[in-house]
Each structure stands twice: as structure tokens, then as C-alpha cells.
Amino acid sequence: DSGVTQTPKHLITATGQRVTLRCSPRSGDLSVYWYQQSLDQGLQFLIQYYNGEERAKGNILERFSAQQFPDLHSELNLSSLELGDSALYFCASSVDSYQEQFFGPGTRLTVL
Amino acid sequence: EDQVTQSPEALRLQEGESSSLNCSYTVSGLRGLFWYRQDPGKGPEFLFTLYSAGEEKEKERLKATLTKKESFLHITAPKPEDSATYLCAVQASGYNKLIFGAGTRLAVHP
């Protein structure tokens, strides 16, 4: 158990809908990262927050957004969902931007 | 462009048959190289961090080494419970994200 929690474990929704994925980092970690893992793309970095502020952005679509709250939990919002958004979404946390990242169990999103 | 390539894509071993997984990387200034283990449907589990060429880390049957262009994950006398996908990732200087390779799927048979 990495200490990173993610909810829900599974999400099944329809195209065009909007969903919110939630992540709680390990105790003491200020940095939260979101990654997408699909069969054909592997693990792809989406976005990083550090102590409530956006720190780095990767291949994140404009339909996706994220935020980190004062209690350091983070949410990833996915809107106007398409079939191709079906994937595993992982949250990771670290003490700062330069230390190893610890991953949560993931949320499996299925868009029908 | 920063890039990570892992080989082989898949590896089948008999229990006790030692082998090595390769991770070659191209990055503009390496801040760190990370090894993770991932079981199907689960999140990657952190194994090692390597920061500079010549560095080695060990954990049970696993040993990770680093050169200026590649890293190896040596598995000594593997057991069936070592079966998993092993992921290599690099962090480049000036960037916070991890760039992952596609992974090596390891199957250890009794």
C-alpha cells in the first residue's frame, strides 16, 4: 500500500458526459501528479500540482482540468468524454518535485 | 526529444533463471532514473531511484544499475511472484514529470 488513495475504483459512463476523479496523497506529500495509462500509449503525464498551485503540464487535453485543494487532495475533471478517453487514470504523490513518486491504485474509466 | 526505450518487450523465465532487463534513455540532463513494478490493473510500485552513472541499488532478488545511456534491472534466481511488468522512467533536469518506457512484461514459471 503506497498510502495514496483514489476514488472511485471504476467508472462507467457515456460519451459526452463529465466525471471527477479524486486523489488523496500520502501524508506529508505536497506534490500530486496525474497520469493516464492506455494500452497503446503507456503511462503519460497529464499535470502536476504542488501545494495547491499548478507546477507542470503534460499532454493534457483542454477538456480535462485539475485542481489541488487546501487539504492537498486533488481532483481531475474530465468533460465531453469520448470513447478514446477510456483508460486507467493514476494519481501519484511525492514530497517535492525531485523525489520518487508513489502511485495510487488508479481509477479505471470506461466510456461507452 | 527525451525518450525511454525498454527491452525486451516480454521475457519468459524459468524459476531460478537469472536475467536482465534493459532501459536505454535519451534525455537532456538526467535528474533521476526510476524503476517501478506494476501488476495487472494496479498502480506502479516504486522500486529504485538512481541518480548518477555507476550507482547501484539492491532489493531482495533485484539489482538496478545505471550508466550514462542505460540502466539494467538484474533479477537473480527469480520466483513466480516476481512476474509483473517492470517500468523504467526518467526525470530530466528542469522538468518535474516522469517519462516512462513501455515496460517489460516478465513471466516466471515454476
Question: What range defines the domain where residue B42 resides?
Answer: 3-109
**Nearest CA-CA distance, residue A14 and chain B, Å:** 22
Torsion angle, CA of B99/B104/B108/B109, rounded to 10 degrees?
A: 140
Work out the angle at residue B47's Cα, subtended by the Cα atoms of residues A46 and A38, and round it to the nearest 5 degrees. Answer: 35
- pLDDT, tens digit, 9 for 90 and up, residues B1-54: 889 999 999 999 999 999 999 999 998 889 999 999 999 999 999 999 999 999
Within 8 A of B49 by CB-CB distance, chain A residues are 100
Number of domains in chain B: 1
Rounded CA gap, B107 and B84, in Å?
7
Cell representation of residue B3: 525518450
C-beta atoms of A42 and B46 within 8 A = no
CATH of the domain at B52: 2.60.40.10
- pLDDT, tens digit, 9 for 90 and up, residues A2-61: 899 999 999 999 999 999 999 999 999 999 999 999 987 789 999 999 999 999 999 899
